[in-house]
Amino acid sequence: MNFKTFAAFVGPSIFMMLLFIAFPLISVFSQSFYLTQPIYEIIEVETCTPGFITQTCVTEEQSIPKLDEHGDIIKVTKFVGLQSYRNVLELERAWDAITSGSWRAFQSIDFWKALRFTLTFTLITLPLNIGLGLAIALVINNASKAVRGPVIFISLLPFIITPVIGALSINWLFRGDGVLTAAMEWYTGRDIAMFAQAWTIELLMMVYRVWHVAPFAAIVLYAGLQTVNQDSLESALIDGATRWQRLRYVVIPHLMPLIVFISMIHLMDAYRVFEEIVGFSSQGHVISLQWLTYDFLVPDQAGNRSISRASASAMLTMIGIIVLLIAPLRRTWRDHKGGH
């Protein structure tokens, strides 16, 4: 393939990646080092109370944003270095909580609270996603041709549902007098509040995530099962290998590149968990790093957004994703080098 043909195929993809990924990323990275704030001015405001005979007037100073000739708030941008990262991490407060042995104080810091849940959510749902996906793929692969199509369709339904809608559906099933909550209360004879504690909310969010994304893993692994060497399976069967042994020593090693691929997709997606926080309305108990970035961008009463801290939070989230991807990327590189 000559260079012109190669550029014609690859050029549009590179351009779109630069336009929608690289340039915004560079912009977010640069914004994390700058702080934009409105300029305030002190004015005296006189407040008078109504009185029948005399009025009582009080003069007090108020700080209000300074406006330009067009009525817009005047803002100033200055370089603050790593200050936004320090504001997000709150290292001194975190260290004090660690040295005092207070887990509750440590978890009261938004970033570390969000990091703890994000890591727990990502690392627990990863093996469950792969395990359930492999189980579904094996069921589809062993199903007869007459029912294989309907089984695939039913298996894909959770993945087709919009994430927020799916999270809201699970929320309604367990919220208050939801159908499943009412059933559990009838069975146990006790009042059950699934959204009164953080750990039950986290459990529901993990169950939903696995239910929602396992079909993707199942379809990918089902495609991989079609390429398993049948001669190897027959040889293992002749040698007396059980079904579990054939799965462990023949099928899973063959599917390992796909398992690594699914793991990387899941790590990148689960570490940016956001829909579950919104769908389960868990902000009072559980937050994620992605939701923390969103919260920084919500305007306060004065209409100001913490863009610098939001950028710092986004960059820290990206660093976490890169750290989690190191292991599967190294595995992929070793497999690639070994194949040559």
Tell me, yes or no, whether 62 and 192 share the same domain: no
| Confidence bin at 236 (pLDDT 50/70/90) | confident
Q: What is the pTM of this model?
A: 0.84
Domain range for 141: 103-339
> Are residues 69 and 109 both part of a single domain?
no
Would you state the pLDDT for residue 270? 93
Q: What pLDDT does 177 receive?
A: 76
Q: Is position 67 within any domain? A: yes
Which DSSP string corresponds to 244-255? HHHIIIIIHHHH
144 or 91, which is more confident: 91
Q: Looking at per-residue confidence, does 335 or 227 come out higher?
A: 227
In a domain, 310, yes or no: yes
Contacts 24+ apart (CB under 8 A), 123-129: 124/206, 125/206, 125/209, 125/210, 125/213, 125/266, 125/270, 126/263, 126/266, 126/267, 126/270, 128/206, 128/210, 128/214, 129/209, 129/210, 129/213, 129/214, 129/217, 129/262, 129/266
Question: Could you say which of 79, 113, 140 is where a domain stops?
Answer: 79
Half-sphere exposure of 172 (CA within 13 A, CB side): 6
Q: Are 57 and 44 in contact (CB under 8 A)?
A: no
Q: Is residue 92 part of a domain?
A: no
How high is the pLDDT of residue 127? Answer: 95
Quick one: pLDDT at residue 338?
Answer: 67
* 321 and 193 part of one domain: yes
Q: Is the pLDDT of residue 243 over 60?
A: yes
pLDDT value at residue 20: 85
Residue 83 to residues 78, 90, 106, 123, 297: CA-CA distances in angstroms? 11, 10, 20, 30, 17
Please report whether residue 242 resides in a domain: yes
In a domain, 227, yes or no: yes
- Name the least confident of 86-95, 111-120, 169-178, 322-331: 169-178
Domain shared by 170 and 319, yes or no:
yes
> Residue written as tokens 């920084």?
296
Per-residue pLDDT of 197-208, as tens digits, reads: 889 899 999 999
| Residue type for position 45 | V
| 22 occurs within a structural domain | no
Four-point Cα dihedral 117, 321, 292, 200, nearest 10:
-20
Residues 46 and 140 in one domain: no
Q: Do 303 and 185 fall within a single domain?
A: yes
**Number of structural domains in the chain:** 2
Same domain, 68 and 172: no
The answer to whether residues 68 and 116 belong to one domain is no
Q: Give domain status of residue 96, yes or no.
A: no
> Greater confidence, 333 or 177?
333
Q: Which of 49, 224, 65, 204 is nearest to 130 (CA)?
A: 224
Do 113 and 75 share a domain, yes or no? no
Q: What CATH number does the domain containing 306 carry?
A: 1.10.3720.10
Per residue in 245-282, pLDDT (tens digit) is: 888 888 999 999 999 999 999 999 999 999 899 888 88
Residue 217's pLDDT is what?
94
- The 10s digit of each residue's pLDDT in 49-66 is 776 667 777 788 777 777
> Does one domain contain both 45 and 145?
no
Tokens of 121: 């959510």
Residue 17 placed within a domain: no
- List, for residues 95-144, the tens digit of each pLDDT value: 999 999 888 899 899 999 999 999 999 999 999 999 999 999 999 988 88
- Judgement on whether residues 192 and 66 belong to the same structural domain of the protein: no
Residue 340 has pLDDT above 60, yes or no: no
pLDDT score of 308: 92
pLDDT given for residue 291 in this prediction: 93
> By C-alpha distance, which of 340, 294, 287 is closest to 314?
294
pLDDT given for residue 53 in this prediction: 67
For residue range 275-314, list pLDDT tens digits in order: 899 888 888 889 999 999 999 988 877 667 888 999 999 9
Q: How do residues 171-214 score in pLDDT, each as one tens digit?
A: 888 887 788 888 888 888 888 888 888 898 999 999 999 999 99
328 and 191 together in one domain: yes
